[in-house]
Structure 1
Amino acid sequence: MTWTTYHRRGEVLSAVITAANERGDGLLPTDVEGVGAVFRDELDLLGALQLRWHTRLSGRIDGHLGRQPLDLEAAVVDAWVATAEQMPGVRAVLDRALAEGVDPEADRLLGNAVAKERMMLAAMAGRSSYDDEAAVAVGASIEHRARLAWASSAGAAPARAGAPATAPARTTTLIDRLRSALAS
């Protein structure tokens, strides 16, 4: 891949992400200009979206762990929610592809990506190691907690238009955490 092709692919991927976030319908935006020229097929585009999601999530986790080192799991959940709020359309596209299936090869690759992401969530939350057999299940429970927090957060994104309307989640402050620690 040439430098020009690399940059063009990045520009098109950014346009795809913008379209997915604006639409919020979970459909893969293959109609964005340039998609056919820089991505081989839908699987290539879906893989690029998955990689962008994973990269953004990983970076957010690192940042949240630096700011909130005492409660690792809460930091991981907060990072997942922040990433989903920044990329709701991408999350919707990935969730729809996982739920409905694309084709056997895409389903296998997405399944592997989900397992790796869940292992990362569990490891970064301090609940398991990457090679632990339970890491995927532990990561799934952390992801579930993050999804619940995202669904209850204020300002429901278009990708969550069908989510139940609830009161905005209250941000936990240092004082709240200290009170909780002293009460227990």
Structure 2
Amino acid sequence: MFNFIGVIFIIFLASTAVGTMPALKGRYPFPFILIYFALVSVVPVIVGIVLGAAFLFWLPAFLFKVALFILSLFMVAYFLQLYHPSYGYIPHNSKGYLFILSFFFFLLGIEFASYGFSAWFLLLVIPISVVGLLLGFIFMTRMIIYFRYLSVIHFVPIGLFLFVGILKLI
């Protein structure tokens, strides 16, 4: 039961971190960018859960915890160098961040399946992930409005990914 709640919380927290990213870039319209990031984060989790339950259930969950920890540290370093004050974390000329985010959520789905949970829990994971995305976007928009002159506010997504990485060690 603790594993189930822990994995659901990590998926929610990672979705919240992804939801904060488009709030830092004001170039795309609100519904488009949220649907775009929902597809980038929810679809790989679904595919990871289904493929993990079908083919990779025999691998230990510890392997995925270590892989997710390393990948989250890589994502922190990648997004630190990718951030631009005008573009935020979504550059207009590169799509590498999409692959990294998709792979991260794919591994989260495989880890979810490696604990032996049924693929029927997708009905729970999908709404939790979408709610995390929306709450992250709303939270970051409010933080930008209220703490306009605080320059560290733009690094909240990186802090959330670092927190996800630390939680993966537990």
Q: Tell me if TM exceeds 0.5.
A: no
Which has the larger helix fraction? 2
Larger radius of gyration: 1
Using the size of structure 2 for normalisation, the TM-score is 0.30
